[in-house]
Chains A and B, each alone.
Chain A
Amino acid sequence: SYVLTQPPSVSVAPGQTARITCGGNNIGSKSVHWYQQKPGQAPVLVVYDDTDRPSGIPERFSGSNSGNTATLTISRVEAGDEADYYCQVWDSSSDHVIFGGGTKLTVL
């Protein structure tokens, strides 16, 4: 079955740029979606279809997807961005939703 690989953790200082990767075989051929989950809260969609942002999500959040890696980029990181981030795709070969293992973003 299709596997998405994320780094367990990423750390960044406030004001800097955080990049969270999501690796998968030829993931560039799939649509990738990203969720933010803060402690004790439900996940929130922050990027869909590789690069699009839902209304209400700051422009600081952006996505890219090519080859074997998709990336969520958070510019000008703030303390409030500290959360777990998950990538997600639809695997058409199995008709299954696949989540990455999640990345904990720590703001130093």
Chain B
Amino acid sequence: EVQLLESGGGLVQPGGSLRLSCAASGLTFSRFAMSWVRQAPGKGLEWVSTISGSASTTYYADSVKGRFTISRDNSNNTLYLQMNSLRAEDTALYYCAKDLTSSGWGSWFDPWGQGTLVTVSS
């Protein structure tokens, strides 16, 4: 059974930085693209970023491009999201999710982790 466990969320001031992690188990991690999807309180799902299984290709939502960086450590089955220049509108529950392809292109997500909460506030 695939399990995804996010960590690293917390309270951060506007303009600050935070790094999220997602530890994966129960899969051959390097074979699958991985993604981050967020959900602001009481709102819908918003895709953030995707990285291919080999880490050679990354995709970003326009709202985070240039501020967030997705990466992965295939030797430790861990996905990361480095978030810089955080804004109040980045406040959300951040989910990591396994893609069903290795490239991430055209993919969908199954399963999802339980999420880690990021709050950007002074």
Taking CB atoms, residues of chain A closer than 8 Å to B107 are: 90, 97
CB distance from A95 to the nearest CB of B (A): 5
For B112, give its contact among A43, A54, A84, A101 (CB under 8 Å): A43
**A21 at interface, CB cutoff 8 A:** no
Q: Please report the total number of A residues contacting B with Cβ < 8 Å.
A: 25
**Are A90 and B105 closer than 8 Å at their CB atoms?**
yes
**Are A99 and B114 closer than 8 Å at their CB atoms?**
no
Interface digits, B35-55 against A, CB 8 Å rule (1 contact, 0 not)? 101000000111100100000
**Are A44 and B44 closer than 8 Å at their CB atoms?**
no
Q: Could you tell me which B residues sit within 8 Å of A by CB distance?
A: 35, 37, 44-47, 50, 59, 61-62, 95, 100, 105-115
In the assembled complex, 10 residue pairs joining A and B whose CB atoms fall closer than 8 Å, in A order, are A31-B106, A33-B108, A33-B109, A35-B109, A43-B37, A45-B111, A88-B109, A96-B61, A97-B59, A99-B46
**Are B110 and A45 closer than 8 Å at their CB atoms?**
yes
Q: Which residue of B lies closest to A92 (CB)?
A: B106
Taking CB atoms, residues of chain A closer than 8 Å to B59 are: 95-97
Taking CB atoms, residues of chain A closer than 8 Å to B112 are: 42-44
**Are B110 and A97 closer than 8 Å at their CB atoms?**
no
Q: Which residue of A lies closest to B4 (CB)?
A: A42
The 8 closest A-B pairs by CB, nearest first: A97-B47, A33-B108, A45-B110, A42-B112, A102-B44, A90-B106, A99-B45, A101-B44
Taking CB atoms, residues of chain B closer than 8 Å to A102 are: 44-45
**Are B100 and A48 closer than 8 Å at their CB atoms?**
yes
Taking CB atoms, residues of chain B closer than 8 Å to A54 are: 110
Taking CB atoms, residues of chain A closer than 8 Å to B46 are: 99
